[in-house]
Amino acid sequence: MFIDIQAFFETTPVSATFAVETIKIRPEQISTDSRAIPEGGLFIPLRGEFHDGHAYLLKSFELGAQAAFCEKQVYEANRNTYADLPLLLVENCLSAYQALARQWRRQLNIPVIGITGSSGKTSTKEILAAVLSPFLKVHKNKANFNNEIGVPKTLLEIPVDAQVAIIEMGMRGQGQITELAEIAEPNLGLITQIGTAHLSELGSQANIADAKWELAKFLEAHQGKLFAQAEDPLQRLAAQQTPQLAISWCGESEDSLVRLLSVTEYDTFQEIEYQVQAGKVHTLQLMMPGRHQVRNLLLCLGVLSALGYVLPEHTQIEPEQLFGRNQIIELPNSATLINDAYNANPESMRATLEVFGRRKAKRKIAVLGKMGELGPQSPQLHAELGKFCSQLELDYLIGLGDETQILIENAERGAFQRLWFQEHAECIQALTQLLAPGDLLLLKASRSAQLEKLIEGLTFVPESEGA
């Protein structure tokens, strides 16, 4: 199935150096990487912090491209070089890329579900995919392709037989969720939680709430529906901005579309009882720990109900396990590592540590790195997390990096040993000596803390001499 290029031209100002009637492009033939351009493909040169894709225009044609986008000012500056190339001239290649992705989304005309929130976006995406996949062919973002480049890439990767698309939407500032919503044009939306992530960019939780609620405003303007956390006061307050929006609250409150009745928590899964629209009591198992994940699940069950489906009783919901997100790794010395170090903020830290503190193990060792993007409030929030840790049932609490020193200092009332290291190498050395069979080790931090270096050190098995 080809992209309707004529429809794309109607929404995006384009001039061409060739007869555009000859161009036929399937979405899988579009690439922003000249090295991966397929035969007969369309190359879209994007500008990055360190590179400009226009530098690879000529190379893309050598590798088999049939056409390429080019920004008009670049073409004018290189007219002699580019004169004979089949180019689609646009003002901005990124904007054109986004418009092309939107055109493909419109052609497919399937439900698109947007997900945003301060934390839990990726987990919720995976839970929602697991909830919907028994009924529908699901397409979703790979990894964390959730920004102004990743979202159009995700849309262009939707296969023609997909029945629903799940689009995670990240943001770093005001207006970015609006931009992503205008690209993906979601029919339904989920907001997981409004917390303190991105304080450094937005300054306050109120500003964060406004930025996340941009998804709700888009849905209101396009007759969509939002699924929101019933117990999140910031979402309740933000709802006043969108009085015409259909909002389905999900949680424990009486006005919840999907209402939680009970949760029985185990180390690696949870048994849940819930109702939809105060109807029959349903039971299922969520094969991941944490009450916060139950709240995310309720949003997903709301979407399932809106699409007209009901899970069979005692269904096991087992989301795909992703690297750095509650990932279980068995270490060579028979200790178990939980890698949850892809991202962190005060809310996700507390939720993860609370679950970890209740786990059963010979010894429990938590290694925490910094929480990024907290701005001037970072020392205070790290200190508060340290005080929170004091009440946890741990054997060791270990901080890694400058930002965690104040965290460890403020955990002085905890009934566990406290250690702090500035460098990864010394932390690896200490853990290698400390860990024993039956121990449970948690790694939790923002991605910038690079705790994956600890995994590399702890899983390295030197080859025996002479091998």
260 pairs with which residues across the strands?
274
At 377, list the tokens. 């409030």
Structure tokens that stand for 279 in this block: 């109807």
Q: Is 119 annotated as a binding residue?
A: yes
Q: In whole angstroms, what is the distance from residue 460 CA to residue 332 CA?
A: 8
Token output for 419: 């250690």
CB atoms within 10 A of CB 22: 9
305 is in an annotated binding site: no
Which amino acid, 187? N
The upper half-sphere exposure of residue 314, i.e. CA atoms within 13 Å in the direction of its Cβ, equals 0
Residue type, 287: M
Question: According to the annotation, is 121 in a ligand binding site?
Answer: yes
**In this structure, what token pair is assigned to residue 352?**
């993860």
Beta strands 270-276 and 258-265: pairing type?
antiparallel
Please state, in angstroms and rounded to a whole number, the distance separating the CA atoms of residues 451 and 347: 19
What SS3 class is residue 332? coil
> Annotated binding residue at 122?
yes
Q: Is 120 annotated as a binding residue?
A: yes
Measured distance CA(106)–CA(367) in Å, rounded: 46
DSSP-based helix, strand, coil % in the chain, nearest 5: 40, 20, 40
Q: Which of 294, 306, 32, 295 is nearest to 164 (CA)?
A: 306
Contact 177, 116 (CB under 8 A): yes
DSSP string spanning 186-219?
-SEEEE----STTHHHH-SHHHHHHHHTHHHHHH
Alpha helices in 315-377 (DSSP H): 346-358
- CA–CA distance, 12 with 445 (Å, rounded to integer): 42
Residues tagged in the binding site annotation for ATP:
117-123
For the annotated binding site, the residues are: 117-123
